[in-house]
Amino acid sequence: METVIEIENITKKFKLYSDRPMSLKEKIIKGLKNEYKEFYALKDVSFKVKKGSTIGLIGKNGSGKSTLLKMINRTMFPDKGKIKIKGKIASLIELGAGFHPELSGRENIYNNATIFGFTKEEIDKRIPEIIAFSELEDFIDNTLRTYSSGMYARLAFSVAIHVDADILLVDEILGVGDINFQAKCANKIYEMKNKGTTIILVTHDMSTIDRLCDYAVWLEKGKKILEGSPKEIENAYLKFMAEKQEERQKEENLKSKENNTGKIKILDDKKIKITHLGEHFGNGDIIFTSCKLLDEKGIDRRSFNTGQNIKLQAEYLCQVDPKDLQVNIGFEISNTQGTYIYGTNTSREGYKKLKLQKEGIIEVELENLNLLPGDYNIGIAVADLEEKASYDHYRSIAQFKMYSNIHDVGLLRLKHKFILDNYILSEE
């Protein structure tokens, strides 16, 4: 397959100047030059893009993804290396660049389309389609300064997406407008992909990478870490991010052990209130004092693989006489977008006469947890048996990541089988 973009050993660095003003004495001694540090946005990056393929660029903020797109778009140039391009480029990097607030939406379409290389005659033919896609027919002759930010972005996207381009550069713009317009934008990009347009996409949404991309490149601090299939790169990236998160968690735990200030408050009624485990509610008769997520080896961590066993372990403290209490213990799992995935409690499962000690440990074992890759919350609660009072309730007492080599989509993997003409193709 023909190569349409070839990135050869690209390096781009910037100078980061100190904001500290220099005194007259310092200027005389050091000269008029301000002190600066060199920052490498990209360092010796190379890869190729085949015609008609869709490439996803993955990496944290500041890893060099947007800088690379700007250099492919020729709005920025490398200090070292070469970029070879075959074909016309359309860019969805800085939507609305060149728009003028005192001109109408219609006038801005003409101005912006001219930047993309359209003649007036070509714009005349396309402007009904551009306006219709933007859904701004009632406002198109109003000045742009009267537009909301969402209307502005929709108009800019509509102009850019109707350019006949061989290569499309997309930088985190699939959140334009309301949910219906976002779906229309995504469908338009899928349509361009199916017509053979080469696409380079920057996004933090791993599901978009899964659905749209044929290939992925992972950048970290300006360097190419890995390239390959989207699922392979996604899993490596998620695992890396989860390990970083675990390192930060360990550092925070160490700091909290060294300095307990702010972890525990004594209320007026002499009850202890815990503040270091996140947001929670309840009357405080029973409180959770610590939380761990353990793997099969008993190691506290915040990243797991699909199908792995996980144990939620929470220490509790009764601040009233436990003999007076009959309790209901529950847990719940949701993703970080707020989708409720699963929840239950001991009362629903028939345990009606549970008693606690003055202090102890509650554990929830989750065997073969088949959540698919993503970020999740786990919560825990303890309440009165008849649920008239909540003693302590966390919607999220811990966050964790799942990663996997499985290519399924959605939130969790279900046990299933495919059967063709009475022959079992596969079984899970």
Residue 130 has pLDDT above 80, yes or no: yes
Q: Phi then psi for 277, rounded to 5 degrees?
A: -100, 5
Q: Phi then psi for 293, rounded to 5 degrees?
A: -115, 110
Tell me what the pLDDT averaged over the chain comes to: 84
Task: Categorize the per-residue pLDDT at 238 as very low, low, confident or very high, splitting at 50, 70 and 90.
Answer: confident
Task: Categorize the per-residue pLDDT at 309 as very low, low, confident or very high, splitting at 50, 70 and 90.
Answer: very high
Residues 6+ apart with CB under 8 A from 338: none
- Rounded to whole angstroms, the Cα distance separating 269 from 199 reads 63
- Tell me which of 339 and 20 has the higher pLDDT: 339
Q: What per-residue confidence (pLDDT) applies to 122?
A: 87
- Rounded to whole angstroms, the Cα distance separating 5 from 12 reads 18
Q: How far is CA 161 from CA 88, 111, 127, 150, in A?
A: 13, 15, 12, 16
Give the range among 248-252, 263-267, 321-325, 390-394 with minimum mean pLDDT. 263-267
Give the range among 45-59, 213-227, 328-342, 395-409 with minimum mean pLDDT. 395-409
Give the range among 87-96, 185-194, 343-352 with minimum mean pLDDT. 87-96
Residue 427 has pLDDT above 80, yes or no: no
Residue 162 has pLDDT above 80, yes or no: yes
- Can you list the domains of the chain with their CATH numbers? 3-229 (3.40.50.300), 240-403 (2.70.50.60)
Closest CA to 157 of 120, 126, 189: 189
In the numeric block, the tokens 């699909």 are attached to 306
Give the range among 19-23, 332-336, 392-396 with minimum mean pLDDT. 19-23
Q: How far is CA 28 from CA 25, 33, 35, 170, in A?
A: 5, 10, 14, 48
- Rounded to whole angstroms, the Cα distance separating 103 from 288 reads 60
Q: What per-residue confidence (pLDDT) applies to 185?
A: 78
Residue 35 has pLDDT above 80, yes or no: no
Q: What per-residue confidence (pLDDT) applies to 301?
A: 87
Q: What per-residue confidence (pLDDT) applies to 211?
A: 76
Task: Categorize the per-residue pLDDT at 20 as very low, low, confident or very high, splitting at 50, 70 and 90.
Answer: low
pLDDT in tens, 380-391: 999 988 767 899
Residues 6+ apart with CB under 8 A from 29: none
Chain-centre distance for alpha carbon 166: 28
- Tell me which of 179 and 162 has the higher pLDDT: 162
Give the range among 4-18, 83-97, 199-213, 242-256 with minimum mean pLDDT. 242-256
| Contact predicate 286/319, CB 8 Å | yes
- Tell me which of 346 and 35 has the higher pLDDT: 346
Task: Categorize the per-residue pLDDT at 240 as very low, low, confident or very high, splitting at 50, 70 and 90.
Answer: confident
Q: What per-residue confidence (pLDDT) applies to 385?
A: 84
pLDDT in tens, 49-82: 999 999 999 988 889 998 999 899 888 899 999 9
Chain-centre distance for alpha carbon 383: 34
Residue 353 has pLDDT above 70, yes or no: yes
Residue 397 has pLDDT above 50, yes or no: yes
Interval 115-136 mean pLDDT: 87
Task: Categorize the per-residue pLDDT at 23 as very low, low, confident or very high, splitting at 50, 70 and 90.
Answer: low
Q: What per-residue confidence (pLDDT) applies to 96?
A: 62
Q: What per-residue confidence (pLDDT) applies to 140?
A: 94
Residues 6+ apart with CB under 8 A from 348: none
What is the share, in percent, of the chain residues with pLDDT greater than 70? 86
| Contact predicate 325/356, CB 8 Å | yes
- Give the residues across from 315 on adjacent strands: 290, 361
Helix then strand count (H, E) for the chain reads 8, 21
Give the range among 171-185, 294-308, 357-371 with minimum mean pLDDT. 171-185
Residue 261 has pLDDT above 50, yes or no: no
Spell out a b/e string for 265-292, using b for 16 or more CB atoms within 10 Å of the CB, else e: eeeeeeeeebeebeebebebbbbbbebb
| Contact predicate 16/39, CB 8 Å | yes
The beta-strand segments (E) located in 51-153 are 54-58, 80-85, 89-92
- Rounded to whole angstroms, the Cα distance separating 167 from 299 reads 47
Interval 31-45 mean pLDDT: 79
Local structure of residue 155 (DSSP, 8 states): H
Q: What per-residue confidence (pLDDT) applies to 68?
A: 93
| Contact predicate 66/93, CB 8 Å | yes
- Rounded to whole angstroms, the Cα distance separating 296 from 322 reads 32
Local structure of residue 303 (DSSP, 8 states): E
Are β-strands 198-202 and 167-171 bridged in parallel, bridged antiparallel, or unpaired? parallel
Residue 375 has pLDDT above 60, yes or no: yes
